[in-house]
Structure 1
Amino acid sequence: MASVRLMKILMLGSGMVAPPCLECLSRNPRNRITLACRALAKAEELAAKFPDIPVIRSAINSGIDVVTTSYVSDAMRELDEEAKRAGIVVLNEVVVDPSVDHLYVIKKIEEVHAKGGKVLEFYSYCGGLPAPDCADNTLGFKFSWSLRGALLSQRNSARFLKKGSIEEISPQNLMASAVPYYIVDGYDFVVYPNRNSVPFREFYDVLETHTVIRGSLRYKGNSAFDKQEWLKDGMTWAEIQQKAIGASGTDEDTLESKVKEVARFPSASEGERIIAGLKWMGILFSEKGTIVEGNVLDTLCVQLEKLMSFGPGERDLVML
């Protein structure tokens, strides 16, 4: 009998996406998996220290194929010819969006072109969300991947083509640009632009189109985060909130009033809904926060992970 060839796989990082990936890879007894990480609490930090470009360069030098979930950056594209000469495959964007959406888009565009048609407007919206019966918190969202990455994705700038003109949205205005979007009864979605949609006019070969917008879907109801010297162990969430927004006190009424002043909600009902979400997260109360290296974002992530992770038997949903 011919010997069975073993597949050696190096997996970098051990964030929330890693466990299901590792479980899937381990189903094949021929796979020999090496997981590179530090202490669990630092795993995501470690993954960030291994950016894709050095990994791809190393793979080119070693003749090893690479699979990532990352967007294809300009720096990655510059390595295309080197990868081809090395005879390796560098497969990026292997997730739902971007990845599966590309397949459906190309299929539909080719069908339209084959019939002599033209694509004058292009919209592609996708959201990975908890199933409606599992969206049981105020924000209608749960985390199955990096909390930090999910929150920071809502602080990206956006760029898209609309009626022949390029429009841009700054990071601080991204979520304010979200608008209601109807797909089917029973789902209350909003949509906001996702990163830079402009190059997809050429990528998808729809040069005839005057509008190209790729966006993210969230249930209706869905911050800059920097290191703060004042963020110390032992602080309560009320104290953290007071410092973060510059409130005069830590009692609930004072904090609530200051949040409304700072946020400038578009309507009273919207303000009440968001205040209810902050109360549900415990951010206005006297519970002590778990401080992470003086960083408001990472401290918030610890709190949200306790409240917004999927439970046993709960299902997620992809709307594309």
Structure 2
Amino acid sequence: MKNILLFGAGKSATSLIEYLLTNAPRQKWHITVADHDIMLIKSKTGKSYYVTPAALDIRDQAARQKLIQETDLVISLLPPALHITVAKDCLEFGKNLLTASYIDPEVRKLEKDIEKAGLLFMYEMGLDPGIDHMSAMKLIHSIEKKGGQISAFRSYCGGLISPESNDNPWQYKISWNARNIVLAGNSGAVYREKGKVKEVSYQQLFDQSKTIQIPSLGKLAYYPNRDSLGYMSAYKLEDIPTFMRATLRYPDFCEGWSTLLKLGLTDDTTKLQTDNLSYFDWTCQQFKPDPRLSHEENIAQHLSISAKSKIIRQLKFLGLLSNDPVHLGEQTNANVLQHVVETRLGMQSSDKDMIVMTHEIEFERRGMTTKLHSYMVALGDDNIHTAMAKTVGLPLGIMAKLLLQQKVSLTGLQIPIMPDIYNPVLKELEEYNIRFEESFE
């Protein structure tokens, strides 16, 4: 019997837990799911013989380390800042670790020790990062194997609401961690375009009017994602003129979010007392409203837009022009906004989300320039079995199976960019209708 320990039972854990439990009888696994919310765990595990729910405060070192010592493999779906705590324990007790989060500077400091211990810490093994790496590297390796010289690489991914559930002026509903949504892009972005390094500040990020055409969906907006340049060496594309990774949204979302940013409502640095504020007061922190004007007219005048504009409709939909009290105590604006979007943009039980991922690769072969388009659209089943949960959780589950079946000999701190990983994982993902279509021009 092999033991798997999963930290975190949140939104992205649903499909992973189901995958592990489905495979448990045949693979002879036992799964321990640890989270601070025992009822949340039980809602996702049921009464399976192959699972043990464990109520855990991740700060409880003794309890945490006891669970890690007793397992064969650790998977972490904790908030990114907590992975390092688990990683250090895994290193101390000689356990392999899988997570969907980015490699951060703290775990990078452990890189030599992980390699020396002969362990595998596979980071970025989810959707984005994760499936994006695997599908991109499969294309890149195939092009290069046939003698193609790549000159441009662009990769786009977005967690969106499906067209049938797209019924609000934001064209967005939450299918994953709301805090990540609120803070997305706050470090700006850097990428390379036609040989020049482009830097985009947080203040400018959502002003992008650029769009990309997706088959059957039409135009989606995009904005560059974090530090694209950091992946050029990993992809072995250091010398190409154009390299960008980007996030996809419906165009209306980008317009609306740019407005929230301009109003200062995404700030996470300064706390303010909200108990005596209405939502309209909170929204108007940057200026003094004119009592002779309506709430809509005040905001419109401040933003230099029409009081009947789509932006005003978006703000009203979030309740930001209402006189309702905020009453959340002392909070940062980002915390208040997180509460707002969780309340107003939550998925309903019948809602379905959608993941869209696409790669555009330009290359030359035998004197001919070609542009390859590869895209994937995955739909959720409902607000629990979301496309986000599938695409984040299933790659982790498949990777866990490969490791426990001893089909992976890789060690060290890694991301999934090698054929021994991406070929079997992408192949099995197709069984769950997560597959890419390709076209050329």
The residue aligned with 1:285 is 322
Distance in 1 separating the partners of 2:12 and 2:57:
10
Q: Deviations over 1:9-47 (max 9, x none)?
A: 1414x543345545554554743424243799xx99985
Q: Distance between the aligned counterparts of 1:219 and 1:126, measured in 2?
A: 12
Match of 1:318 in 2: 355
Structure 1 CA distance, aligned partners of 2:217 and 2:137?
Answer: 29
CA contact (8 A) 1:236 1:287 kept: yes
Write the distance in 1 (CA, Å) between the matches of 2:2 and 2:204.
Answer: 50
Tell me which residue corresponds to 1:11.
7
> How many Å apart are 1:61 and its aligned residue?
0.8
Greater Cα shift, 84-93 or 275-284: 84-93
Provide the aligned C-alpha RMSD in A: 3.0
Give the TM-score, by structure 1 length: 0.84
- SS of aligned partner of 1:128: strand
Match runs of 1:153-192 below 5 Å: 153-192=184-223
Opposite residue 181 of structure 1, the aligned amino acid is: I
Q: Distance in 2 between matches of 1:235 and 1:176?
A: 29
**Gapped runs of 5+ residues in structure 1?**
none
Aligned twin of 1:98: 129
2:296 is matched with which residue?
A: 256
Change in 2 beyond 3 A, CA 1:250/1:73: farther
Contact in 2 for aligned 1:177/1:192 (Cα 8 Å):
yes
Shift of 1:193: 0.2
Q: 1:75-95 deviations in whole A, cap 9, x for unaligned?
A: 433422211222222111122
1:271-318 Cα offsets, whole Å, 9 max, x none, are: 811111001111101223352532222222222212212222322111
Q: CA deviation at 1:54?
A: 3.3
The structural deviation recorded for 1:6 is: 4.6
Aligned length: 308
1:143–1:290 distance in 2 versus 1, CA, 3 Å: farther
Is 1:150 paired with 2:181?
A: yes
The residue aligned with 1:225 is: 267
State the AA in 1 paired with 2:190: R
**For residues 198-237 of structure 1, what are the structure 2 equivalents within 5 Å?**
198-222=229-253, 223=261, 224-226=266-268, 230-233=272-275, 235-237=277-279
| Structure with more strand by fraction | 2
Cα distance in 2 for partners of 1:44, 1:314 equals 32
Q: Which moved more, 1:163-172 or 1:211-220?
A: 163-172
TM-fit CA distance, 1:140: 0.7
- Write out per-residue CA displacement over residues 88-134 of structure 1, whole angstroms, 9 at most, x where no aligned residue: 22111122111111111111111111121111011001111111111
Letter paired with 2:125: V
Deviation per residue, 1:126-168 (Å, 9 max, x gap): 1111111111111111111111111101323100011111111
Whichever residue aligns with residue 17 of structure 1, its letter is S
Distance (whole Å) between structure 1 residues aligned to residue 339 and residue 57 of structure 2: 13
Residue identity in the other structure for 1:59: C
Structure 2 distance, partners of 1:26, 1:116, is 43
**Taking CA–CA contacts closer than 8 Å with sequence separation of 6 or more, which of the two structures ends up with the larger relative contact order?**
2
TM-score by length of 2: 0.63
| Cα distance in 2 between the residues matched to 1:18 and 1:147 | 15
Would the aligned equivalents of 1:290 and 1:303 in 2 still touch at CA under 8 Å?
no
Please point out which of 331, 343, 350 is paired with 1:294. 331
State whether residues 271 and 330 of structure 2, in contact with CA within 8 Å, keep that contact through their aligned partners in structure 1. Answer: no
Identity of paired residues, percent? 24
Specify whether residues 24 and 258 from structure 1 end up closer, same or farther in structure 2 by C-alpha distance, changes over 3 A only. farther
Distance 1:182 1:6 in 2: 46
Amino acid at match of 1:83: I
Q: Say if 1:118 and 1:208, in contact at 8 Å, map to a contact too.
A: no
**2:95 equivalent among 53, 60, 64:** 64
Distance 1:63 1:264 in 2: 59
Give, in whole Å, the separation in 2 of the partners of 1:250 and 1:92.
53
Does the Cα contact within 8 Å between 1:69 and 1:95 map onto a contact in 2? Answer: yes
Query: Which residue of structure 2 aligns with residue 35 of structure 1?
Result: 34
